[in-house]
Amino acid sequence: MTNRFGLLLGVALIAMSGCSSSDETESSDPVGSGSAATESASPSTSAFCAVIDALPQDTSEDYVGSADHLADTESLLTVAPDAIVDDLGLFRDYLASGAIDSEADPESNVEENWPDDVREAVANIREQVGTDC
């Protein structure tokens, strides 16, 4: 059984979510809620964290690489801190490429199967979300 990784997130989202090949359970609140970082954040960081908080926390494998996933990533990109704009752009481009097709290739939504640069971008997004939100 595979587990979903959160945006942080899991961009992340992810992240921006994807699947992990591990059977370990992810945190049920990967991006945090109401943290001190969000309460004292700049307006742009607050907007970014608000979009993160509004992302679906419990997604199916069909979400990864879907039009909804791409739209959520686009929403994040409009308010992302400068430090991760390039990473989110890379992830968005990967999603838009059609490389993730859960129906035709279920393994394509497993993060470990993604290109190294995409996995690094997702890790950077997670780190930023963990710091800011």
pTM above 0.75, yes or no: no
CB 7 within 8 A of CB 28: no
| pLDDT reported for residue 102 | 83
Which conformational region is residue 125 in: left (phi greater than 0), alpha (psi within -120 to 50 degrees), or beta?
Answer: alpha
For residue 9, the enclosing domain spans 3-18+31-132
Positions of the chain with pLDDT lower than 70, given as ranges: 1-43, 58
What per-residue confidence (pLDDT) applies to 71?
A: 92
Provide the pLDDT for residue 10.
41
Look at residue 30 in the predicted model and tell me its pLDDT. 35
For residue 24, tell me if it sits in a domain: no
Q: Is residue 59 classed exposed, middle or buried when 0-12, 13-18 and 19+ CB atoms within 10 A define those classes?
A: buried
CB 22 within 8 A of CB 130: no
- pLDDT of amino acid 9: 46
Residue 122, pLDDT score: 95
Both tokens of residue 11?
């961009």
Q: At CA 97, angle to CA 93 and CA 101, rounded to 5?
A: 125
Domain count, the chain: 1
Judge contact between 8 and 15, C-beta under 8 A.
yes
At 43 the pLDDT is 53
